[in-house]
Amino acid sequence: MIMANEVLDHLLKVESDAAAMVSGAQAEADRRIRENEENNRTGWEERFKAEIHTREAVLENEKEKVKQKYNEALEEYRREISAHKTDVKKFCDLVNSILINNGDG
């Protein structure tokens, strides 16, 4: 009977060792999964930030172009207005004719 007890003790020790190995393997797998997730998250964040930076630079460039075109158009408008001569007498005659015609009406 001593032999059966020894075999049983040996089998229980083997089972205990196997459980410890499985537990260790699971812990290592969990560690590797966390590490990969962190690496993937970090990589994604870096790519995302780089894309944002690129798009912001394009946006700023386009804003500057629009601002420059606006300023050029505004300056052209101011030059046209400045070049236009106002005929005060003609304006007064027009206003008088409108007032007189509206008064008759």
The CA distance from 8 to 3, in Å, is 9
How much is the pTM?
0.49
Return the pLDDT at 87: 86
pLDDT band of 105, cuts 50, 70, 90 = very low
Tens digits of residue pLDDT in 26-39:
999 999 999 999 99
The CA distance from 105 to 101, in Å, is 6
The domain segmentation of the chain, as residue ranges, is 2-104
Tens digits of residue pLDDT in 34-75:
999 999 999 999 999 999 999 999 999 999 999 999 999 999
- Give me the phi and psi of 84, to 5 degrees please: -75, 125
Residue 85 above 90 pLDDT? no
